[in-house]
Amino acid sequence: MSARKPEHRALALLLAAAAGLGCERGTDAAPQPSASAQQWPAGVVLAVGTRAISAEEVDLASVWIQNIEPGASPAHLRRLTVTNVILPRAVAHELDPAGRERALAQARERLAELRSGNFAGPLGPSGVLGEYIEGPWTKLGLPGWGTLLDAPDGEWSEPIEDAGSWVLMRRLWRREGATPAATVLAVDALRFDWLDPATRRASIDSAMDQFPLTIVDPAWREVVPELIQHRMKARR
């Protein structure tokens, strides 16, 4: 591949970092439940603990990364998506499933208020109800940037799941970049965290040693990087 632009290199570094996390660590993590003959629903290809992951979930998120790496093969897009979006999100789910559901309920309640016009909290300095964020995908995060890239201005999104947080966003404006990856969005964001923002990255990193990865569809063993399979004690 030709020399990458900075945002492309950033994604490659994310993949490399995620794939190499903890490779130097031992395998003496807390004992895990024994693998069972659990029957997963149709379409499930991976699972982290009890969290099922479908091929559809991966492919929907891979569209975001395709805007950043348009030349990537479908298999490589899946690999980038699983590594950078899906597995961290699944681990965050397993860390506190009940907290995740509570945060989702709060986000949905607030969204209903926003859409009904019954919520008019104090506006910030930039005229937003939540946090004003302006930038490319590296600033907004892949889920938010990808979801709002082609959204109409001014409309609140459905709850967007990031690792450890649900977020409601409305796009204020979009500025085209030299490439789709360089496109800048300005958004109003309301977050509903179930993991502490100050420590969640470290918590998710550490928890990758705790929750086993089950490769439900054997073909997906070619998608998940081997180092992650080793670290998460991937099993069939």
112 within a domain of the structure (yes/no): yes
Residues 49 and 124 in one domain: no
122 within a domain of the structure (yes/no): yes
What pLDDT is attached to residue 120?
A: 63
Residues 36 and 147 in one domain: no
19 within a domain of the structure (yes/no): yes
Residues 91 and 105 in one domain: no
Residues 35 and 119 in one domain: no
Q: Are strands 51-54 and 213-215 parallel, antiparallel or unpaired?
A: unpaired
- Structural domain containing residue 42: 6-96+199-231
Report the C-alpha gap between 161 and 158 in whole angstroms.
10
Whether the per-residue pLDDT at 16 is higher than 50: the answer is: no
Residues 53 and 89 in one domain: yes
218 within a domain of the structure (yes/no): yes
What pLDDT is attached to residue 122?
A: 59
Residues 118 and 149 in one domain: yes
What pLDDT is attached to residue 146?
A: 95
- The residue behind tokens 């918590």 is 203
Q: What is the DSSP letter of 151?
A: S
Residues 73 and 146 in one domain: no
Residues 84 and 111 in one domain: no
pLDDT in tens, 176-193: 999 889 999 999 999 999
Residues 49 and 63 in one domain: yes
Per-residue b/e over 91-126, b at no fewer than 16 CB within 10 Å? Answer: bbbbbeeeebeebeebbeebbeebeeeeeeeeeeee
What pLDDT is attached to residue 235?
A: 78
What pLDDT is attached to residue 123?
A: 66
Report the C-alpha gap between 199 and 43 in whole angstroms.
33
- Asked which of 13-17, 45-49, 206-210, 222-226 is least confident by mean pLDDT, the reply is 13-17
**Number of domains present in the structure of the chain:** 2
Report the C-alpha gap between 105 and 185 in whole angstroms.
27
pLDDT in tens, 43-101: 999 999 999 999 999 999 999 999 999 999 999 999 999 999 999 999 999 999 999 99
73 within a domain of the structure (yes/no): yes
The tokens describing 43, both together, are 């379409």
148-158 mean pLDDT: 95
Report the C-alpha gap between 12 and 15 in whole angstroms.
5
1 within a domain of the structure (yes/no): no
Residues 47 and 110 in one domain: no
Residues 75 and 106 in one domain: no
Residues 92 and 203 in one domain: yes
